[in-house]
Amino acid sequence: MITSTAWIIITAILVATSCALVGTFLVLRKMSLMGDAIAHAVLPGIVIAFLLTASRNTFPMLIGAGLFGLLTVWLTEELSKKGRIFHDASMGIVFTTLFAIGVIMISLFAANVDIDQECVLYGEIAYVPWDLWVWRGTNMGPRPVWILGLVLVINVSFITLMYKELKTYSFSPQLAATLGLPVGLIHYGLMGTVSFTTIASFESVGAILVVALLIVPPATAYLLTDRLHRLLLLAVFFGITSAVGGYYMALWINSSIAGAIAVVNGLQFALVFLLAPKYGLLGKKLAGRRIRKSGPEMISHPEPNDVRKSLS
Amino acid sequence: MDTLIEFFSLQDPNIRYVLAGTILLGISSGALGCFAILRRRALVGDAVAHSILPGVCLAFIIAGGKDPFMLILGAFVFGLLSMVTMDFISRNSRIAPDASIGMVLSVFFGLGVVLLTFIQTTGYIDQSGLDDFLFGQAASMVGDDVMVFGGLSLLILIVTILVFKELKLVSFDPSYARSIGYPVKRMEFLLALLMVLVITAGIQAVGVVLMASMLIIPAAAARYWTDSLRVMLLIAAGVGAVSGVTGSFISYTAPAMPTGPWMVVSAAFIFFLSFLLAPGRGEIARHIQKRRLSHKVACENILKTLYSMEEEDGRTDRLRPAKELRKRRHLASRRMKKVLSTLLRKGYVTYFRGTPDGYLLTADGRKEAKRLVRVHRLWEQYLSQHLQIAEDHVHEDAESMEHLITSEIEAQLRTSLGSPALDPHKSTIPYDSDEDEPAGGKSGDKHKQGGTP
Amino acid sequence: MNEIEQTRNPTGNSSNPPLEVHDLTVAYDQKPVLWDIDFELPEGSLTAIIGPNGAGKSTLVKAAMGLIPASSGYTLIYGKPLDKQRHRVAYVPQRESVDWNFPISVMDVVLMGRYPHLRLFQRPGRDDRDVALAALKEMGMEPYHKRQISQLSGGQQQRVFLARALAQDASIYLMDEPLAGVDAATEDVIFQKLKELRDGGKTVVVVHHDLQSVPDNFDRAMLLNLRMIACGPVSEIFTDENLQKTYGGRLNILSQMIEESRQQRFVRESES
């Protein structure tokens, strides 16, 4: 028999791994906040699913939330294009409005709806071991573990199947389009997996902490490597270690597990940000000194792309 | 109706506070939001709002209870800290701004949740009110809050009036601002400071998640109505104020309804109306413009077709049936009808019964058609002469330009080209001097020019 | 990385050149982008900065203006440190560096050129408007002064930026790619204006991308590829050897494209 501690840690690891995998592409594509937007905007979808099925059954909620996740992505892009406003502002308008509508719906149907915005914002991973899936009388273990396991399988297969396409796309969508890759499919495929990952995860860790797991481990890894496959592996590594570390930290100071995981994420990033050999603060300082001391033979070839990136 | 009168008679001091508070919040966040969205910092406000949570919790722990001053101070300090952290990360590493916003937002909030659970488990009695900071509780606003909002709005108003020109420059072109020695960093810090102040104050009314929308939505709505930054600030402040009133009113009539989310939804509604209806930039206006342009283009194309038919057979008296015109231009018959009726109304063509029925260019119509052909050919000539575009490529480009070239540009083209006689395909460029001449035809066929029939 | 150091502060007598840059080195993420740049420019000269993509042309202008941090180096304007002399230098940023949907009019943009002459809180007055209008007229943009900037074509936007620099009434003009993506008519107007400025005794430096048009339109050039390859009168420095050094084997546009795409990290990796 697996202990409840183990179930919690397994859940956290599943969430962290799924998030790190898709989050890497979000960070590379400079769409990190899409996860944040989706995590908030699905609230009306959850409420509608709840009202329709009159239960906290997970699957209708996942579907309702999934639809609203994709709706957010679509609305953000349409508004940005048609309304001619910056992408970030358009995202801000869409997700906050949808969240506000969700809150209003909760107040409207307060008598029938047994959810509140707190549960969307925080989530509670500590309850996972008791959310059991009983199938034909057999206890199959916690339901979230099954769902998150499924999400992980989907994410891993999506990334393995589309690795080459995703790589080109996250480097430059224009390049991907000129090479004849199905950019629309890649984009909405990625956004679809982000939606599902976010929604499946936030039930246990809450909206904001999904954002932490989506962005922080990939960003941390991004300071350590330039290779995509290493980036993915390192992001997963940071995700898993933060999940385990966060659990024990929460145990130690008797606090929310999800919050503690985010704090560990932050600590990991801070450490790498300071110490990373090439892209960290210290590394850059040392390199700056080296450049000033050594002669121009350090100059190799101009790398136009990197230079442009640093300038922008 | 009674509630409306009751509400706006402001008898109830509580209503007065709530109303004044939400209006002032709407004004200050609306105006500041303009700078936020124009400087592409729309979601920075979201991150700051979330990052305030640990500050509030720490202040609660240190003060040992709900001391309003301490809570606001804690919130302010952490708001500023988050701002500085985001800026520091994106300045000093290869992490893009959006990722640093997301990181700060989630990690700070995570820390806040840790502290919140810590407070709950240590059993402070008085901690229930902390939730107001997260989800907002406009209805609980009291006189002190209104004073804070009032002071804040006044401060923002004074600052933007005093340094409007500097803020404009720094928001539009920071590198030029730096090049002439402006203290860009200090200006940016000033804006950040004001933003943190507004968010700190506003969070108690609308909550962590929705604070960002009060910065973004009114400003984005205002952008549709004007091309002037000054006017945009005023409209955004107005939109903010109106949504404040609406939110308060709805929550007054239906006490179960939360004020903050209704403020956001009303702002979003105004945004949506602006997006649709604003003259010039609005969706409907642009749709109408597009339709008009495509109708104009279709009309002009038919005129040109009539003219080139005359050019081909050299006859101005042959009736051209609508069917034939349609075949040449591939227009749907319904659009063809509309186009022809416009041309008839303008007096460019006349309709005759005959075998078969058909249309003839009038003198006016011929003149207009000639102008179009002239502009087209002049443009082709210009493209091939000045931009060295191959002559087999110039036609398509000229096709889309000829509908947009004004007489002013035409004159410029003619002077710069010296009124050439032929275009790159060696076709004659028809000028107005040979007005009553039936279309001359291709000069390649050595047709004579300028004679009267 | 320090800001540009202003270690030397000689007395500003009239024999000092208008623009000197010394020991300028810039590095990003350990990669040197500019190495030990050193030059002086005489008054009344028109200089083109040229070099391949990524050679650091724009970086040179930005670092010389102190807009980006440099590892070392300093700039002198008429022998005095830059910070006291900024109003005498008009900088024209790249057109793409700003949001052309920003809600302001052409006149507003050109008036910004008057800001160095205004105190804090002071609004531009009638005189400033006259100066701005005159600058717009010089660039052939006067009829557009009330237009919102988003309604301008690329060439017109560039003319507005130049008009702003003219309105600043400076002695030195530093322009970052003012001829990139403009129409032929605008190109003529700009080249004409540059020559007029030079003939009026101004010192003009232009980041330029088109090697071919340099000999006809500029009297001096700087050949740049991380290092200064050569700097001086065009007729002297445009030698095969110098150009070869600057552009390497990449003069051919096609080979340059291939080189660029090869450097795209992820693509390279996916091919392996």
Residue A275's CATH number: 1.10.3470.10
Total structural domains in chain A? 1
* Residues of chain A neighbouring C53 (CB-CB closer than 8 A): 302, 304
ipTM above 0.85, yes or no: yes
Give the separation between CA A186 and CA C86, rounded to whole angstroms: 49
- Give the ranges where C69-183 is alpha helix by DSSP (H): 82-85, 106-111, 126-138, 154-167
Domain boundaries, chain B: 2-278, 285-362+442-446, 365-417
Output phi, psi for A141, to 5 deg: 95, 180
Output phi, psi for B297, to 5 deg: -60, -45
pLDDT at B452: 34
Residue C178 scores a pLDDT above 80: yes
B97 prior amide bond cis, ω within 30: no
pLDDT at B234: 95
Q: How far is C258 from chain B (nearest CA, A)?
A: 25
A250 touches chain B (CB under 8 A): yes
C 26-85 residues with CB < 8 A to B: 29, 62, 65-67, 83
- Whether C26 and A302 have beta carbons less than 8 Å apart is answered as no
- Give tens-digit pLDDT for B112-139: 988 888 887 776 655 556 666 677 776 6
- Whether B360 and B349 have beta carbons less than 8 Å apart is answered as yes
Length of chain C measured in residues: 272
- Give tens-digit pLDDT for C185-205: 888 889 999 999 999 999 999
The residue among B138, B9, B119, B125 whose CA lies nearest residue B54 is: B119
Answer whether residue A163 is part of any domain: yes
Answer whether residue A301 is part of any domain: no
- Whether B292 and B403 have beta carbons less than 8 Å apart is answered as no
C263 touches chain A (CB under 8 A): yes
Residue B169 scores a pLDDT above 90: yes
Percent of chain B with pLDDT over 90: 27
Chain B: touching chains (3 or more CB pairs < 8 Å): A, C
Answer whether residue A181 is part of any domain: yes
- Of chain C, the end-to-end C-alpha distance in Å amounts to 37
Considering the segment(s) B285-362+442-446 as one domain, its CATH architecture is: Orthogonal Bundle (1.10)
3 state DSSP class of A249 = helix
pLDDT at A269: 96
Which of B109, B220, B275 faces A208 most closely, judged by CB atoms?
B109
CA B381 distance to own-chain centroid: 37
Residue C266 scores a pLDDT above 60: no
Q: Which positions ≥6 away from A150 have C-beta within 8 Å? A: A200
Residue B233 scores a pLDDT above 90: yes
Other Cβ atoms less than 10 A from the Cβ of A229: the count is 11
pLDDT band at C255; cut points 50, 70, 90: very low
pLDDT at A305: 38
pLDDT at B450: 35
* Residues of chain A neighbouring B94 (CB-CB closer than 8 A): 222-223, 279, 309-310
The bridge status of strand C89-92 relative to strand C172-176 is parallel
- Give tens-digit pLDDT for C68-110: 888 888 999 998 888 888 989 999 999 989 999 899 999 999 9
Length of chain A measured in residues: 312
Best probe of the B interface among C121, C152, C186, by most B CBs < 10 A, is C121
Answer whether residue A302 is part of any domain: no
Q: What is the mean pLDDT of chain C?
A: 83
Residue type, A142: P
Supply C79's token pair. Answer: 């022998």
Its sign, for the CA torsion B35, B39, B42, B46, is: negative
The bridge status of strand C72-77 relative to strand C46-50 is unpaired
- Whether A217 and A235 have beta carbons less than 8 Å apart is answered as yes
Q: Which positions ≥6 away from A185 have C-beta within 8 Å? A: none
* Residues of chain C neighbouring A283 (CB-CB closer than 8 A): 30
Supply B250's token pair. Answer: 């709805």
Q: What is the CA radius of gyration of chain A?
A: 21
Average the pLDDT over each of A61-75, B90-104, B352-366, B430-444 and give the range with the smallest value.
B430-444
Q: Which residue has the tokens 């488990």?
A: B121
In this predicted model, which residue has the larger pLDDT, C111 or B351?
C111
B 23-62 residues with CB < 8 A to C: 38, 40
Q: How far is C226 from chain A (nearest CA, A)?
A: 7
Size of interface B-C (CB pairs under 8 A): 80
Best probe of the A interface among C1, C31, C57, C223, by most A CBs < 10 A, is C31
Give the separation between CA A200 and CA A15, rounded to whole angstroms: 8
pLDDT at A294: 55
pTM of the model: 0.81
Answer whether residue A307 is part of any domain: no
Q: How far is C245 from chain B (nearest CA, A)?
A: 31
Q: What is the pLDDT along chain A (312 residues), one digit of tens a residue?
A: 577 888 889 989 999 999 999 999 999 988 899 988 998 888 898 888 888 887 766 778 788 888 898 899 999 999 998 888 888 999 999 999 999 998 888 888 876 666 666 666 666 677 777 777 777 777 777 888 888 999 999 999 999 998 988 888 888 888 888 888 888 888 888 988 898 888 888 777 777 778 999 999 999 999 998 889 999 999 999 999 999 999 999 989 888 888 899 999 999 999 999 998 878 888 777 776 666 555 444 444 443 333 333 333
Other Cβ atoms less than 10 A from the Cβ of C43: the count is 16
Angle, CA C154 vertex, CA C149 and CA C159 arms, to 5°: 75
Residue B444 scores a pLDDT above 90: no
Answer whether residue A303 is part of any domain: no
Residue B106 scores a pLDDT above 90: yes
pLDDT band at C8; cut points 50, 70, 90: very low
| B365-417 to CATH, choices 1.10.60.10, 3.30.450.20, 3.30.70.100, 3.40.50.10800 | 1.10.60.10
Give the separation between CA B323 and CA A238, rounded to whole angstroms: 71
Give the separation between CA C76 and CA C64, rounded to whole angstroms: 9
- Give tens-digit pLDDT for B409-428: 777 777 777 777 777 776 77
- Give tens-digit pLDDT for C48-77: 999 888 888 999 999 999 898 888 889 999
Answer whether residue A242 is part of any domain: yes
Give the separation between CA A73 and CA C73, rounded to whole angstroms: 47
Beta strands in B2-149 (DSSP E): none
Q: Which residue has the tokens 């047994």?
A: A114
B158 touches chain C (CB under 8 A): no
Best probe of the C interface among B179, B234, B412, by most C CBs < 10 A, is B179
Superfamily of domain B2-278: ABC transporter involved in vitamin B12 uptake, BtuC (1.10.3470.10)
In this predicted model, which residue has the larger pLDDT, C15 or A214?
A214
pLDDT at A16: 94
* Residues of chain B neighbouring C108 (CB-CB closer than 8 A): 168, 229
Domain limits for position A32: 4-295
* Residues of chain C neighbouring A305 (CB-CB closer than 8 A): 54, 260, 263-265
pLDDT at B132: 66
Q: What is the mean pLDDT of chain B?
A: 81
Nearest residue of chain B to residue C117 (CA atoms): B180
Which of B173, B176, B232 faces C103 most closely, judged by CB atoms?
B232
CB contact under 8 A, A27 and B99: yes
Residue type, C37: I
The DSSP code for C146 is T
B156 touches chain A (CB under 8 A): no
Average pLDDT over residues B21-44: 91
Give the separation between CA B287 and CA B244, rounded to whole angstroms: 32
pLDDT at B16: 82
Per the DSSP assignment, residues forming a β-bridge with C34 are: C26
Average pLDDT over residues C247-267: 49
